[in-house]
Structure 1
Amino acid sequence: MDAQSRYSDTELGVILGEPTGISFKAWQSDNTAIDAALAWSFGDNGSVHLHADYLRHKWLTVESGSLAFYYGLGARALFSDDSKFGARIPVGLQYMFPETRLSMFFEVAPTLDLIPETSFGVNGGIGIRIFI
């Protein structure tokens, strides 16, 4: 995929799953991006979830549109009575619909909370974004 097949370098949309909320992606190059979410986490009695990830993309061949496998490393924070801070390792697929400004994604992100104690978990969801 080249830069001209995108309408802009910025996407905004929603993610549904764990967590559910607003999703943002800023492309740094054709193969790298930073994504973030401000969302609600339904686990642990509910909390505000904030994450940011650095992603690398590998473009896959498809007949129409653009499809990328991506992976990365990021940080997350859960804000509640029992706030947590840690790392996440997202892995997913993103499809960019041809001749539209829409993209759809699916991701799974193992998590490692480090503060206040070490614990493992998994985030995951599907989402849709529009290039703005």
Structure 2
Amino acid sequence: MALTIILALLVSSPGEGTFELGGILGEPSGISLKYWLGSHTAFDGAVSWSLRDDRGDDLYLHGDFLWHDFGIIEDESGDVPLFYGIGGRVILDEDDTRLGARFPVGFSWLLGGAPLDFFVEIAGVIDLVPDMDFDVNGGIGIRYVF
């Protein structure tokens, strides 16, 4: 029984070196990844494309450093941490390349019995290059936990 409890805790709680890979839908939409640096910090990123009509088929890249607070929501079926962070984004286009800072916030649902991470996020973005501009990104996604 003790072994079962220990294994359940290991599966439901991410730790240093845990890697996640999946997808995100929204703005942006594409491939999402996350690498846990410790029990409360992680790096996440996306390689994607924009769904906005004015951006066409731009290549979109972002990377964020995230902190996770596991004490906000209690759920018996898994962990539901609030996450927040800081990062950067690059949008590559034939005519216009944009570089900016990202400030994401959201929730993950780390399902206790399965190696899945469901998430929803919204991020304020301050573009710095080629000019100052404010934008908002958001999406929902799922990642497989390796």
TM-score using structure 1 length? 0.93
Structure number, greater radius of gyration: 2
Counterpart of 2:109 (choices 95, 99, 103) is: 95
Aligned to 2:140: 126
Counterpart of 1:113 (choices 127, 132, 135) is: 127
Aligned to 2:74: 61
1:6 Cα deviation (Å)?
A: 4.3
Contact residue 79 and residue 109 of structure 2 kept, 8 A: yes
- 5-14 or 96-105: which moved more? 5-14
The one-letter code of the counterpart of 1:86 is G
Q: Is there any run of 5+ residues in structure 2 with no aligned partner, and where?
A: 1-8
Mapping of 1:1-132 within 5 angstroms? 4=10, 5-6=12-13, 9-43=18-52, 44-46=54-56, 47-59=58-70, 60-80=73-93, 81-132=95-146
1:114 Cα deviation (Å)?
A: 0.2
- 101-110 or 44-53: which moved more? 44-53
Identical pairs, percent: 45
1:45 Cα deviation (Å)?
A: 2.4
1:41 Cα deviation (Å)?
A: 1.3
Contact residue 6 and residue 131 of structure 1 kept, 8 A: no
Q: How far does the alpha carbon of each residue in 1:83-114 deviate from its partner, in whole angstroms, 9 at most, with x for none?
A: 10010100000001121111100000010000
Alpha-carbon distance between aligned partners in 1 of 2:76 and 2:115, rounded to the nearest angstrom? 18
> How many aligned residue pairs are there?
131
TM-score using structure 2 length? 0.85
- 34-43 or 119-128: which moved more? 34-43
Q: SS at the partner of 1:90? A: strand
* Structure holding more helix per residue: 2
1:42 Cα deviation (Å)?
A: 2.3
- CA-based RMSD of the aligned residues comes to 1.7
Contact residue 13 and residue 127 of structure 1 kept, 8 A: yes
